[in-house]
Each structure stands twice: as structure tokens, then as C-alpha cells.
Chain A
Amino acid sequence: MYETIRYEVREHVAWLILQRPDKLNAFTEQMNKEIVSALKQAAGDEMVRSVVITGEGRAFCSGEDLAGVTEELDHGEVLRTRYAPMMKALHHFEKPVIAAVNGVAAGAGMSLALACDFRLASEKASFIEAFIHVGLVPDAGNLYYLPRLIGHAKALELAVLGEKVSAQTAYELGLVTAVIPESEWETEVQRFAAKLAQMPTKAIGLIKRLLRESGSGSFAEYLEKEAYGQRIAGLTEDHREGVRAFFEKRPAVFKGK
């Protein structure tokens, strides 16, 4: 049903694979839309407990397809109508999302990776804030996430200088969770996604919510949100199972409920 992406669910993990390898998985309007519907599908599917976003071929995603950029283009409207829905869908997505960065993540492709909860980088991966090279500003939420991940100074360096950041450098910056050797790439990504898919899904969603909101509002407001969050988590089956397993001195079996 999708043409620019592939969507598969295996063992509680949803795989969202960008599928335009000959264009280095550059975004088109259709791809933006398909990603939104795939995320909706994953959000509504009880079987899905973690999501992996990755690219087919040698790139993760090279950003906006410049073939569609013309003189008349209203860049602001492109962001509002195409990118904002996709970035909002990711921002409010409750299940854990991993960007499995298999190759270059450039421009809005880098933004996509930044919006995920975890970034796993293959040795061959790289990140490029390509926007400056065509006289534009990083978009698709890029500069919202970047300073939160690596701090203001480094974010500015990357965005203004636009230099290619290797997987290893990205790891040192704290941009990625792990750099994975090429030979173990697929098994390691699978293992990581499977591990997340066995954790208390609701609690992960609530942690995401709290972290998202911890940057805004007062401390008192935050504590109130925390109380809501813990009340919700306290009502889950996974919480009861966790406590039971603790007293029975056995590993907990979480069901994501």
C-alpha cells in the first residue's frame, strides 16, 4: 500500500524503511504522507511496541528532493503542509522510535533522525547539516532538537559550518547511542529494537512525555505532570507485573499494557 516506504511488523517491532534508494531516500510529498500514515498505523497497532526507521540502500535519508525546488516555491508552506505533520506525528509518538542510521543523514534526513528517541549509527553513517550550503536554515524541527541533544555551542557549529560528522564523532558528541560495526549492523539493530519491545511500553511513553515537557513551564507545573504520569503508570498491568516479579525474585514479563 505504500510506494516510497516499506512498512513491516515483526515480533512487536515495526520497521519503517525509506524506499527510494536511487535518490538516497530523499523526501517527496508522498513520502512525507506515507511516513505519517505508517506512524499512525504503528501507534494504533497494539502488537507494535517499538519502531525502527531506516533507509534502503546506502543512505539513511538525504533530505528534501531538490528536484522539486523551483523559483516559485513557498518554502514556509512546504514546511507547514508537508514536514510539520510528519514531525508532529513523531514528536507525539508514544512508543519508542529508533533511527537506524545506515548511511548519510543529510538535511531534513538528519532532522528525521534527531526527532527519534534513539539513534544507532552504522560505521558508514554520517550526519550533515546541508542546509547552509544552499543558503537555507536547518528545518523540520532540526534546531529544536539539536541543542537539546548536544548543547547550543555544538549545535551552532554543526548548523553553521555544515561539515560532515562521522559516526564516531557523532557518538562523541552524544548524538548517537552506539556505533555499530558493519558486520553486526542488522542483528544489533534488531536486538536493540526487540529489547525495547519487551519493556513496559506505557512507562516509556510517559517518560517521553515528561522529558518533552520538562523544558517548559515551572518546576511546580512539572511536579504536577509527574504526579499525573505516575498515576497513569501506576494503573498499568506492567507495573503490577514488575512489582510481583520483584517480590517473587524473577524477571518481569511486560506486555505493554
Chain B
Amino acid sequence: MSKYAHIQTYIEGSIAVIELNRPHVLNALNRQMVTEIVKAMEEYDRHDDVRVMVLTGKGRAFAAGADIDEMADDDSITLEMLNQFAEWDRLAWIKKPMIAAVHGFALGGGFELALSCDLLLASETAEFGFPEVNIGVMPGAGGTQRLTKLIGKTKALEWLWTGERMSAKTAYELGIVNRVVAPELLLEETIKLAKKIAQQPPLSVRFIKEAVHKAVDYSLYEGMQFERKNFYLLFSSEDQKEGMQAFMEKRKPNFKGK
């Protein structure tokens, strides 16, 4: 029996897979589902066997948006006091790589969830978009911020204002998506990429992620200071010793994640 109501999780080797599991509503995100996703990710972030996380949706879509019924009657003060988006902030603190595998729709909150991951693979038929504008609101879980940082102000405004859907190919050309894959092979290819990253020395992977994320928010000067500290820090790891030793001895390194 799963401990979650709206997601399913399993570990395959060193990869943890989190599946959104409300297929009858195209995995529309409700508050509990987001809580469960964050909980599962935080747990895997501390799990010794897990090196990379994959997020995907069961059924015909990744996630077609937020559960509108749940918030239709809310007022500003209720939302402020509820502070539901605080959970989304916790996604940004996950230290291990997170890869989203998107098929079908990733709309609104679903798109924001995909953008919260580090890498994104999309099926050829996937579609992305922020339709919030069409119902008199706007993205609230990072959409205006993350999309703009990825594709720039001019492009972001057009997508956010028109609410139009973006094809996987366009998302790829805009730099939102790492790879576009045939629908039949989306999960297989995502797991392949996850395994490839899982074979890299975990501490390097971890500190690279941290430094790259700082590049998005910090000034170049501050970012470089941060990078340098992480670089120095890796010299306390066994994997650094092993990696450099193996390089000099012309053999393959055996990394331990320490």
C-alpha cells in the first residue's frame, strides 16, 4: 500500500521515480498532491541509494494544471494565510538532480512543476503553456520568474500574455527542454539519462547543481566566489582523490559518493 494518495513512487537502481497519479483529471495538481511530491523528493534527497530523481505523469498528461475547483472561491487573505506556495520553495532546496519527463500537457502549475526540475525531457507530442491569463489570474508558483529566467523577458511575456500552447519542438528551440523524444521511449530515455548522471561522482554533481542555480540568481562576481568555495570543498572528498589518481594511472575511477 502506497503511503501517498496522489502520487506513486519507486526506486530502480539508483534512480527514484515519482509518478503523478491522478490520471482521470490529467494529473491536475491539488494542494495535497504538491505536498506529497515535495515530501517524496525531500525523502529521496536524503536516501542513500538514490542519486537522481525522475518526475513523470501517469496517463495521458504530465499535469494539465492546478485544481481550479479547489481555489475558485478563495480570497486574497485566505491564500496569504494558507501560504500554499511555500511548498514550491522547498523544491528549490532539493540537492540531487531532478529530471522531468513530460508527455501530453504540462500546463499552468504542471508547467511550473516541470520548470522546477533541473532537466526536462519532452515527448514529441508534449505541449506546454501558461493558460492562467485566460481565467483572469496568472502563474503563482514561479511561472513568471522561471520562464523569464530561461527564455528572456520578450519571449516570456508573449507566452504568458497570450496563454497559447507551446509545442515540444518550440520548447526545445527556446532552451526549455533538453531533448525531444518519441512518445513511446520517453521514460526509457529519461531513465537512461538519469543513469548516466547517477554514475558521475555524486558530490561533483551536487555542487555543480548548487553553483549553476546560483548563477541564475547571483551577480557574476558573487556566483564566481560561490563556485570557487564549492570547487575547494570537493578537495575534501574521497572521490576527488580517486578521480585524479585514476586519471594519472590511466584507469577508470571508482566513485563512492564520499
Contacts and interface: CB of A to CB of B under 8 A. Distances in A.
A228 interface: yes
Nearest to B182: A228
Contacts of B182: 209, 225, 228-229, 232
B185 interface: yes
A235 B184 CA distance: 10
A249 interface: no
A231 interface: yes
A232 B188 CA distance: 11
Nearest to B183: A232
Nearest to A225: B182
Nearest to B184: A232
A230 to B, nearest CB: 11
Interface in A202-257: 209, 225, 228-229, 231-232, 235
Nearest to B179: A224
Interface in A164-211: 209
A228 B123 CA distance: 12
B164 to A, nearest CB: 13
Interface in B171-197: 181-182, 184-185, 188
Interface in B185-214: 185, 188
Contacts of A225: 182
Contacts of A229: 182
A71 B185 CA distance: 49
Nearest to A229: B182
A197 to B, nearest CB: 21
Interface string A141-152: 000000000000
Nearest to A209: B182
B71 to A, nearest CB: 32
B169 to A, nearest CB: 10
A172 B32 CA distance: 65
A240 B182 CA distance: 21
Contacts of A232: 182, 184-185
A229 B184 CA distance: 9
B104 to A, nearest CB: 14
Contacts of B188: 231
Nearest to B189: A228
Contacts of B181: 228
A236 B188 CA distance: 15
A232 B182 CA distance: 9
A232 B189 CA distance: 12
B110 to A, nearest CB: 22
A228 B184 CA distance: 9
B218 to A, nearest CB: 35
A102 B164 CA distance: 40
Contacts of A209: 182
Contacts of A235: 184
B196 to A, nearest CB: 16
- Report which residue of A225, A228, A229, A235 has the largest number of chain B beta carbons within 10 angstroms of its beta carbon: A228
Contacts of B185: 228, 231-232
A55 B181 CA distance: 37
A54 B182 CA distance: 31
Nearest to A235: B184
A101 B184 CA distance: 34
- Report which residue of B181, B184, B188 has the largest number of chain A beta carbons within 10 angstroms of its beta carbon: B184
Nearest to B188: A231
A231 B188 CA distance: 11
B172 to A, nearest CB: 12
Contacts of A231: 185, 188
A225 B180 CA distance: 10
A142 B182 CA distance: 27
Nearest to B125: A92
A40 to B, nearest CB: 13
B170 to A, nearest CB: 15
Interface in B30-53: none
12 contacts: A209-B182, A225-B182, A228-B181, A228-B182, A228-B185, A229-B182, A231-B185, A231-B188, A232-B182, A232-B184, A232-B185, A235-B184
Given A228-B181, A232-B184, A235-B184, 9 more contacts: A209-B182, A225-B182, A228-B182, A228-B185, A229-B182, A231-B185, A231-B188, A232-B182, A232-B185
Q: Which 3 A-B pairs give the minimum distances between C-beta atoms?
A: A232-B184, A228-B182, A228-B185
Interface of A: 209, 225, 228-229, 231-232, 235
